[in-house]
A and B are shown apart, each in its own frame.
Chain A
Amino acid sequence: MVMEEQKSGFSKRKLRIFAGLFLALLVICTLAGNTLRSMSLPKVYTQPASKGSVAHEYEGSATVQPGQTLDIANPAGWKVKKVLVKQGDKVSAGQKLIEYDDSEWKLQLDDMQTNLKKQQLSMDQLQANYIAAVTEGSESALAEAKIAIESAKLDIASQKQHILSLQKSMTEGQSVSAPFTGVVIQVNASAGTAPGLGPELVLANSAKGNEIRLQVPGDVAGLLEIGEVLDQITLSDKSNRQLSGTIVSIDDGESGGEGIMPANAGDDSNNTSSLPSSVTISLKDDNLKGGDRVEVKIAKTSEEQTVTVPNEAVHHDERGAFVFTLEGREGPLGNAYYAVETPVKIADSNAYVTSIAEGLFEQQEVIVNSTGFLLDGTRVRR
């Protein structure tokens, strides 16, 4: 009797089918869960924000230039008689470099000396006149003779002066010598030519060494200091010799940008740092010659350790820079992950990494790449 009444409103066959479908659905969802999830959620690749510094690198080549050069001019404007050195010669201080033709002036000197002798001879005559005047006792003749002698004396003294000065300028003008030890880097003069407009000869001062000048990008230049020693300088010849050099000057590039762009400081510093600066490095090496090519490598890391992320993780929009961080929420359905837009302040960056001044903390998961378009709050899977 009990059994008779069990006819429920549901047919067993339908129920069995329904239960089968239900079970099948659950099994499929279990087995294909990952596939289904991947179809509906963008997969993200993350990397923890790590403590580090941004390495800035610069590579360039430059030509070695002398540290100090001296143009040597023709001292007297005479014709060149003989050039004693040639380009590249090493000269020591005082060494004669060019001899000049002084023959014209020798003739003049001879004339003057002859004149002097004539004047001295006429002096004898005047003295004889004077003695005669004394013996004659003629007052007027005596006075006249006295003046004549005085005048002749002055003439002689003057002539002597002229001769001396001429002699002096002849010794000065007939040659020119090196004022310091150095290298002849340019010779313009040649024997027999008349003096030109430019320097006869250019001399480099060995004591002052050589230098190179580089156009270094602002981000790197900002990390350099005057007096700093760089040692990744390679001579680009067969020897590949390593040199070291000292920074002697850094001329910042146009830095007017700071005034024009009043945007936030992060962006600002980012922009100005890209302007190149001219950096001069002095090289102390005796074997260097002007004109040698050197390869220069500068690798600098900013000193303070900050949180860094790969550049791909950093996005920009009109509100500034931001990154997507991965936020796991212990949801009722297990961990659910969301992309969260996190505004950041960029402190520094190079070709690979960006260091973040504000907005991120260490080990925070930052989304580097994703298979789908991300917005703030987009649900993702790792």
Chain B
Amino acid sequence: MNNRPSLTGLALSMLFAIFAAAMLFPIGLTLVSSLMSEAEISQNYDLIGKMVDTADGGKDAFVNLKLLPDWLTIQQYAQVLILSPKFLSMFWNSVGLVGPIVVGQIVVGSLAAYAFAKLRFPGRDKLFFVYLMTMLMPFQVTLVPNYLVIDKLGLMNHSSAIILPGIFGAFGVFMMRQFMAHIPYALTEAAKIDGAGQLTIFWRVVLPLAKPGLAALAVLLFVDYWNMIEQPLIFLQDSVKQPLSLYLAQINQSARGVGFAASSLYMAPMVLLFLYAESYFVEGIQHSGIKG
């Protein structure tokens, strides 16, 4: 496995490189287009969503896919970052929503995961199955009841309406449980014999060992909630409080040029986080797949 790649390997590598390029193409096109001027964007892509009458000689009209800008400009970025305060305020809105969710779900989730993974109590597996099922449900399934509860709690149109359900999401419990299940019982039993309480074992033994899991969970949660659209769409009517995901949903139709720059800025934290913590990310996904 560690021998040098063979000739077929080389051919395969090239094939893969082409495929990888295709995979990266939407991302690359967004980045490249974000450096074009507004005029160039509208010149190339103005035909999107327009019905050209083909009978009227409009047969040859197509958008012009352009891979290199005529000249580079950071005009769009200046527009997004400097000339309009809305993008940044929504960016921090997103941070303000996602940050508490990630931290909260890690804390709550790892506590519960410890109980599921290392403690024995009646109905444990059934309860875990319920968590698992909830994790799998599409958001729309709990839409009405969730709406009613949030309304009853008076959280409507408040960022807590997004944050609180986020904190108690089942994914953190599930994933930390998978991680902790792999920590050998021998370690926790040894600590128990040494007279450590469950909290000490959790804090001193299990949690340090589950650190990669925590990191992986953080990355996965960040990606997932950074991308959320449905929840704020319904629970945050006030546009001042809305996160960036909704902003981009609005912008793409109206100002494509600015949209490319905003999209690039929007995906940048995720891409950077992913490249930085790719190993944790991979590990997190792999652990979620391994049956405990």
Contact = CB atoms under 8 A, between A and B. Distances in A.
B91 interface: yes
A352 interface: no
B258 A33 contact: no
A207 interface: no
A25 B278 CA distance: 24
Nearest to B92: A30
A201 B72 CA distance: 97
Contacts of A29: 81-82, 88
Nearest to B90: A334
B258 A333 contact: yes
A40 interface: yes
Contact of A37 (B82, B255, B269, B275): B82
Nearest to A19: B272
Contacts of B82: 29, 33, 36-37, 40
A333 B273 CA distance: 26
Contact of A6 (B89, B92, B278): B278
Interface residues of A, number: 27
Contact of B269 (A16, A22, A332, A334): A22
Interface stretch (B38-46, B163-171, B186-194, B279-287): B279-287
A41 interface: yes
B80 interface: yes
Contacts of A107: none
B255 A331 contact: yes
B91 A26 contact: yes
Given A332-B251, A332-B258, A332-B259, A26 B81 contact: yes
A274 B157 CA distance: 60
A373 interface: no
Contacts of B268: 22
Nearest to B272: A19
Interface string B246-260: 010011001100110
A15 B286 contact: no
B248 to A, nearest CB: 9
B88 A2 contact: no
Contacts of A15: 272, 275-276
A16 B276 contact: yes
A18 B272 CA distance: 8
Contacts of B258: 332-333
B272 A2 contact: no
Interface of A is mostly: helix
A332 B283 CA distance: 38
Interface in A9-52: 10, 12, 15-16, 18-19, 22, 25-26, 29-30, 33-34, 36-37, 40-41
Contacts of B81: 25-26, 29
B79 interface: yes
A379 B83 CA distance: 10
B85 interface: yes
A22 B279 CA distance: 22
Contact of B84 (A6, A22, A336): A336
Given A2-B283, A26-B88, A332-B259, A41 B83 contact: yes
A287 interface: no
A12 B276 contact: yes
A8 interface: yes
Interface in A175-233: none
A33 B85 contact: yes
Contacts of A331: 84, 254-255
A22 B282 contact: no
B87 interface: yes
Interface in A346-382: 379
B276 A333 contact: no
A334 to B, nearest CB: 3
Contacts of B282: 2, 6
B84 A19 contact: no
B283 to A, nearest CB: 6
Nearest to A9: B275
Interface in B191-249: 247
A260 interface: no
A40 B83 contact: yes
Contact of B279 (A3, A36, A37): A3
Nearest to B78: A40
B86 interface: yes
Contacts of B269: 19, 22
Nearest to B85: A33
Contact of A22 (B86, B87, B272, B286): B272
B95 to A, nearest CB: 9
Contact of A333 (B87, B275, B283): B87
29 contacts: A6-B279, A6-B282, A8-B275, A10-B276, A15-B276, A22-B268, A22-B269, A26-B88, A26-B265, A29-B81, A29-B82, A30-B89, A30-B92, A33-B88, A34-B85, A36-B82, A37-B83, A37-B85, A41-B83, A331-B255, A332-B255, A333-B86, A333-B87, A333-B255, A333-B258, A334-B84, A334-B85, A334-B87, A379-B83
Interface of A: 2-3, 6, 8, 10, 12, 15-16, 18-19, 22, 25-26, 29-30, 33-34, 36-37, 40-41, 331-334, 336, 379
Given A34-B85, A332-B247, A379-B83, 18 more contacts: A3-B283, A10-B275, A19-B269, A19-B272, A29-B81, A29-B82, A30-B88, A37-B85, A40-B78, A40-B82, A331-B255, A332-B254, A332-B255, A332-B259, A333-B83, A333-B84, A333-B251, A333-B258
